[in-house]
């Protein structure tokens, strides 16, 4: 949300404050993400669930800025920041759906939903990357 709001900033200090707020929000989101993963994954699949999540996060750290750079080159920085709302909203919907369904499924199906949840979390975390200096 804060990253997308950078598109509304008209001064450097506004963009800096919104960027700082985005990082604070990410810090608050990390424990919640870990709690969701731990509550949904069976105990014998914790390593796999957290491994997939970390792999997705690292992938997003590389791919996200590359895609954002291409988007900025195509539509401009302000419009690209607004586009950050779309994957964030989709990630929130995916997380809600995966969490609701995983509570009622077998272990094998839970692992599949954990992968879906991890991808959604990866998308959410990669939207917090804003290209720029």
Domain assignment of residue 115, yes or no: yes
Domain assignment of residue 93, yes or no: yes
Q: What residues make up the domain containing 22?
A: 2-126
Of 4-8, 15-19, 28-32, 126-130, the poorest mean pLDDT is in: 126-130
Which whole number is the average pLDDT over 1-27? 84
Domain assignment of residue 15, yes or no: yes
Domain assignment of residue 131, yes or no: no
Domain assignment of residue 98, yes or no: yes
Domain assignment of residue 133, yes or no: no
Domain assignment of residue 132, yes or no: no
Model's pTM, two decimal places? Answer: 0.53
How far apart, in whole angstroms, are the C-alpha atoms of residue 2 and residue 87?
A: 14
Which pLDDT score, from 0 to 100, does residue 110 have?
60
SS (H, E, C) 12-46: HHHHHHHHHHHHHHHHHHHHHHHHHHHHHCCHHHH
Give per-residue pLDDT as tens, 51-70. Answer: 988 898 888 889 888 988 99
- How many domains are there within the chain? 1
Domain assignment of residue 33, yes or no: yes
């Amino acid at each position: 949300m804060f990253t997308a709001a950078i598109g509304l900033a008209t001064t450097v200090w506004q963009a800096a404050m919104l960027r700082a707020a985005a990082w604070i929000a990410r810090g608050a989101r990390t424990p919640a993400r870990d709690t969701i993963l731990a509550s949904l994954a069976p105990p014998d699949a914790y390593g796999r669930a957290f491994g997939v999540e970390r792999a997705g996060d690292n992938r997003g750290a590389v791919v996200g800025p590359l895609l954002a750079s291409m988007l900025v080159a195509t539509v401009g920085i302000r419009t690209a920041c607004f586009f950050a709302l779309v994957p964030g909203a989709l990630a929130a919907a995916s997380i809600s759906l995966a969490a609701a369904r995983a509570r009622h499924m077998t272990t094998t199906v839970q692992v599949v939903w954990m992968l879906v949840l991890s991808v959604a979390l990866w998308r959410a975390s990669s939207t917090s990357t804003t290209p720029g200096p």
